[in-house]
Structure 1
Amino acid sequence: MALYRKKPVVIEAFRYWIEGRPDWFCDKVTTNEIITYPTHCVINTLEGVMRGEVGDYIIQGVQGEIYPCKPDIFARTYDYVKEAIN
């Protein structure tokens, strides 16, 4: 058996209904790949439909994929790098 470490990657993310929505999220809303509601959003992903709740992190991955992540898992998985410059 061998051990492996996940390569560090930088992702973009925001907290749904807590922080402003970035352009990459709004673009997917426009194309109906993401449907927004007052209490949650529904995201069509390669793994199927996923639901993001208020306060969940919405992540754009390294290949442009978008998916939700619960705050406790996000905190264990990611470290803050810096504020994105738009």
Structure 2
Amino acid sequence: MKKSEFLTKFEDKIQELVNQDAVRNETVRREIEDGTASAAVDNGTTIAAYQYQQALSAGFSDDQAFFMACKNAGIEIEAPYRRET
């Protein structure tokens, strides 16, 4: 399929995605300007730090505690440790 055929066939969907991106970009710009984005980062950091300390206190290793803190704060990462049997 040629590029022009592709664009013609999916023109409506492409325009919809462009519009969605424009809305997201404007939302992010406003959140940065009004401080909402900063508050969200601060809250996420606070949640992660608290979870990290709680996991360490419960006897988990540093890597396990970090992984759990990230997961709890909504940060998707791969587990940086291997299970010990």
Bigger RCO of structures 1 and 2 (CA < 8 A, at least 6 apart) = 1
TM over 0.5: no
**Structure having the higher Rg:** 2
TM-score range, shorter chain: under 0.3
TM-score under structure 2 length normalisation? 0.24
Which structure is higher in helix share?
Answer: 2
Which structure is higher in strand share?
Answer: 1
TM-score under structure 1 length normalisation? 0.24
